[in-house]
Chains A and B, each alone.
Chain A
Amino acid sequence: MDNILIKAEKINKIYRLPAEEIKAVQDLDLQIRSGEFIAIMGPSGSGKTTLLDILGCLDSISNGRLEVLGKDVSRLKEHSLVALRRKNIGFVFQDFLLIPTLTALENVELPLLFSRMPCERERSISLLKKLGLAQRINHLPKEMSGGERQRVAIARALVTNPKILFADEPTGNLDTKSGEQIFRILKELNQKENLTVVLTTHNSKFGSQAKRIVYLKDGRIVCREDSCLYA
Chain B
Amino acid sequence: MGVIKLIDTYVKYGSPVDDQINIVADLIAGKKGAFEGIIRQYGARLLLKATQMLGNAPDAEECVQECYLQVHRNISSFRGEANLYSWMYRILVNACLKKMKARAVNNSTSIESLLPDFDENNCRIEPNWPSIPSAEEILRRNHTKRQVLAAIHSLPDSYRDILYLRDIEGYNTAEVAQMFSLSEGAIKVRLHRARSALKKILEPVFLEGLEQ
Q: Determine if chain A interacts with chain B.
A: no
Please report B residues at the A interface, Cβ cutoff 8 Å: none
